[in-house]
Chains A and B, each alone.
Chain A
Amino acid sequence: MTVAVASMHPGGAYSEWKGPAAGTLDRTVPRFGTRGHSIAWLGDRVCDEVALVGGKAVNLSRLAAKFPVPPGFCLTSVAFDRAVGRAFLGGEEPSAASLPPGLYGELAHAYRTLGERCGVDAPGVAVRSSALDEDGAGASFAGQHETYLNVVGAAAVAEAVAHCWASAHSSRALQYRRQHGLALDRFRIAVLIQQLVQADVSSVMFSAHPVTGNRDEVMINASWGLGESIVGGTVTPDTYLVRKADMATISRHIAEKRRMTVTASQGTREVEVPRFLRAQPTLTEDQVMEMARLGMALERSMGHPVDVECAYRARKLYLLQCRPITTLAVSR
C-alpha cells in the first residue's frame, strides 16, 4: 500500500499536479487591473489569477473558500518582476537582501498579518514555488521547484523566497525549459507562503481506491507528524477503507509506525516514533468519517476522484492539498 502511495509522488508533494484544466484560464495577462499586486491572499479574488500566482495557488485559493485550508499568501509575478534584474539572479547567493526594500517591507507586513491569523507571533510557514506556466506544455516540473518547510521569521521567509526565485533560474531549470520548449525570457514565478500546520496526524486520502480503481471507496493513509514520512514512503501508515454508500469503515489496518517527521529549527527532521505511540491508531472512528466526508465533498467539487493531503492539529482538520487522481486504474 505504501509503495502505491509513494510511487504516485515521485518528486514530492506536488509533482503530479497539473493545474486546472487547460483553456479555462488566460495565463498571460492579469485581469481586474491587478498589475500592482505583489501580495495575494489565499481566498481573495486576486488569488484567482493564474498569471499572478500560478495554478497551484489558484487551486488552493479556490479550495480555501469552501474548505479548511491553512491561511497563506502569494508573492505574485508582480513581486517577481520587481526583483528581477537584481544581482542574485546573476549568480549572487540568494538572501533576504535579494528583495527590494519596499517588497521586503510588504512581505514582512503580510507575514505579521499571517501570524495574527494563526494566533502566533512568528508562525512556521511552508514556502514553495507556484510556476505560472506549469501546465503550459504538459510539463510537470517534477523536482524543478523548491519547498521550504517550517520557515520562521520574516527574514528567513524572504531568504526562502529568494531561493525559490533563484531555483527557477538555475541552469537545471533553464535546461528543463529548453527541453520542453518553454519560453526562457518571459518566465516568471510566484511563491506561496502558507501556515505550516504542525500536524499531530497527517494523512493522504484517495476518494477512489488507488490500486483497484474502485470509485465506491475512500482510502485513508494516516501516520504521526508531518506528511513527509507518508509521502516519502519512510513509514507504513495506518490504512482505513470507507465505503461511500453507507459510510462504513470496511477495513482498518493499524500499522507499527516507526518514523515521523517533526519540525526542527528552520525546517523539519525525521525521527523515531516513541514506542508507546507506534501501534496506537492515528485516527478515531469520528475522524475517519470526517475525513471521508471531506474527500467526497472535494471529489464532488472537483468533478473527479481526488488525491488529498490533510492533517489534524489539536483535533481540527486542515486541507493541505487536493488534486485529481491522474493515474487512476480503469474500473468497472
Chain B
Amino acid sequence: MSNATVAQDTHAVRIIAPPQFPVTWEHADDEQLTWLHDRMHNPDPVLPLENAFWGRVYEAFNRATEAYDMPVRLKTRCINTYFYMAAKTVVAPEEMEAQRARADERMDAAMARLHSLWTEEWFPEIRSHLAWWDTFDLSRATVPELLGHLEETLSRLLRLWEIHFRVVLPSYIAMSQLDDLYRDLFDGDGAFGSYRLLQGFDNKTLEADRALWELSRRALASDEVRRVLEAYPAPEVVAEMGKTPAGGAFRDELDAYLREYGLRGEKWGLRYPCWIEDPSAAIKNLKNYIMQCDLNPTRERAKLAAERDAAVAAVRGRLQDYPGPVVERFEFLLKAAQEGVVLSEDHGFWIDFGATYRLRRVLLEFGRRLCEAGTIDKTSDVFYLTVDEVRASVAVPHCGDHRSLVELRRRDVEHFRAITPPPALGADNGPPPDDPMGRFFGKFFGGPPPAAESPDVLKGNAGSPGRVRGPAKVIRSLADAEKLRAGDVLVAETTAPPWTPLFATAAAIVTDSGGVLSHCAVVAREYRIPAVVGTGRATTTIRDGEMVEVDGDAGLVRICPA
C-alpha cells in the first residue's frame, strides 16, 4: 500500500482513507482489522435495507463457521454506502492449532458427503422455506399479519443463509484443496490443471442458460416471432407478441421460462427487479441469440465431460506412483470438488436469488403500503429505509413522512456512487496466510491485482483458458446487454449468475473482480471462452469498442493500438 503509514504499538500498517472517503471508527479495535470491499458481490453502494440484509447474511456466515468449528468470524460495516467486511479470529493463539484441527475434521466430514447432505438435508429444507413464502398472500395480509410475516421472513432468511454457507464453505474448500494438491503433485501443468477435472457437470445456472437458448431456437421456428424480436425494442416485445397467435404462444413459453428461471435480478442485492418482474434482460439475450447460428449446448457439455474423464484417467495413471495416502486424499477431494462445483452454482439459484426474490416481494409489499399512505413516493423507495423504520411506519399508518429522509439518503448514495471506494480500509495486516483457508479466499475473491508494466496491459487472474481478440464492450448493467455482439469481449465489474446467458454471445470475459473460483471464471470455463478476472480496473481503463486481446491462461489483457 503506497498510502500507508506504520501505526504505533502494532505490526499492522494503518491504511489512510482518501479525503473524499472519510472514515470514523466506532471501536478502536475495528481500526486494527482489514476491511475489504467485496466488489464481486457488492460493487455498487448498498441501500439501508440491503445493508440490513447483508448484515444478516454475514451473521449467518458466522453461524456456519461456528458450526464448522472454524476460528474465523466476519464483521460487516457499511462505510460511506459501500459494504465492507473484516475477518477476525476468535481463538487465542495458543488454542489455534487444536481449533484448526477440529475445523479440518468437521470440514472433511462435510466434504465426504456433500451431495447427500444437499439432496437429503439442505435442499429439502430450502424448498420448504421457499414454499412457505409462496403460500402467504401478501396483498391481503393485515398489518399485524404482515409484520409477523416480516419477522418470520428475517428468521428464515438467517437459517437459509446459514445453509448457504454450510454448502459453499466445503464446496469451495474442496475445489481449492484439490487445486492445492494438484499443484503440489503436478507443478507446471498450467493454471487450469485441476479445474479440468471439474468441468462438464450441469448446474442450475447452465440449465437456465440452456433453457433460454432453446427458447431462442423456438423463436426462430416462427417467422412472426422472429420478426417481433428483431424489429421491436426489448420493452415492447411482450406486448407485440400478444398480437398474433404464434406470438401469443411464444409469450406463454417465455412466461413459463420466467416462472422457472426468472426469479433472478441482475446482481446480488434487493433493489434489482427480477426478470419475472421485468423480462427485458431475458429478451435482450433472445435478440442476441436469434442472430447466432446453431450451437448445441448438450453436445458441448458432453465434449467437456469427455475431456474431464480423460483428464481424470490421466491423473489416476500418474498417481499410481504415489503413496496410498496421497491417492486417497486426491480421490476424496476429487469427489467432493466435483460435487462442490455443482453446488457452487446451484445454491445461488435457490438462496442468493430464489430466497432473495421472496424477501424482495415482502419488502415491496411494505413499500406498496407505505407508498399508498404517502410515507414514501415510490414503492422501491422502501429500500432506502431501515428495518425499524419500515416496521414503525407500517404499524402506525399516516404517522410519518419519510420522503425527505429517502431523498437525503438517495443523494448520499448518488454522491458516493461517483467515488471509487478504497479496496481496503482499517489496517493492512499483510497478505492472507498461506494456509488452505487463505488460499481459498485468494482463489475466490482474487486478491489485489498485480501492477502491469505497461499502461496498455492489464493483469488479472487466469480465469478460463484460451486467447482471443475482439472489440471490447463495457457492460455496466444487463440493460446494456443488447450492445454485445457475437465476437465481442464482455468487460464488466463483476458478473452475477444471471449474466451468464451473455457468455453464449461473448468471445471472452474480462472483469474487475474475482478469482479463478469466482462464479464468472467457473462458468466461463463451462462456456469454453477465455476469461481474465480480477483486473481491478478493466471497466475504468478499457473503452467501449477498443480492440483487446485476452489471454486467459496468463491472466493478461492487452489493449491493441487503434
**Interface residues, chain A, CB within 8 Å of chain B?**
198-201, 224-225, 260, 262-264, 271-272, 274-277, 280, 313-314
Contact = CB atoms under 8 A, between A and B. Distances in A.
A92 to B, nearest CB: 32
A21 to B, nearest CB: 37
A201 B328 CA distance: 14
Contacts of A263: 320-321
11 contacts: A198-B321, A200-B323, A224-B323, A224-B326, A225-B323, A262-B323, A274-B184, A274-B326, A274-B329, A276-B184, A277-B329
Nearest to A264: B321
B323 A201 contact: yes
A224 B325 CA distance: 9
B435 to A, nearest CB: 9
Nearest to B181: A274
Contacts of A260: 323
Contacts of B181: 274, 276
Interface residues of B, number: 14
Nearest to B184: A274
A311 B122 CA distance: 44
A275 B180 contact: yes
Interface string B231-270: 0000000000000000000000000000000000000000
Interface in B13-44: none
Nearest to A311: B323
A274 B325 CA distance: 10
B177 interface: yes
A49 B185 CA distance: 45
A134 to B, nearest CB: 32
Contact of A262 (B184, B321, B325): B321
A271 B181 CA distance: 13
Given A274-B180, A314-B324, 15 more contacts: A198-B321, A199-B323, A200-B324, A200-B325, A224-B323, A224-B325, A224-B326, A262-B321, A262-B323, A263-B320, A272-B184, A274-B181, A276-B180, A276-B329, A280-B325
- Counting from the closest, the 9 A-B pairs by CB-CB distance are A274-B184, A200-B324, A200-B323, A263-B321, A262-B321, A225-B323, A224-B323, A274-B181, A262-B322
B183 to A, nearest CB: 9
Contact of A277 (B177, B320, B321, B326): B326
Contacts of A276: 177, 180-181, 184, 329, 436
Nearest to A224: B323
Interface in B314-344: 320-326, 329
Contacts of B180: 274-276
A266 to B, nearest CB: 12
A264 B319 CA distance: 10
Interface string B176-189: 01001100110000
B7 to A, nearest CB: 33
B345 to A, nearest CB: 26
Interface string B111-126: 0000000000000000
Nearest to A225: B323
Nearest to B436: A276
A272 B321 CA distance: 13
Contacts of A313: 324
Interface string B296-326: 0000000000000000000000001111111
Contacts of B321: 198, 262-264
B361 to A, nearest CB: 45
B439 to A, nearest CB: 10
A91 B184 CA distance: 44
B188 to A, nearest CB: 12
Interface in B476-493: none
Of A224, A276, A280, the most chain B CB neighbours within 10 A belong to A276
B363 to A, nearest CB: 45
Nearest to A150: B321
Contacts of B177: 276
Contacts of B320: 263
Nearest to B104: A276
Nearest to A268: B321
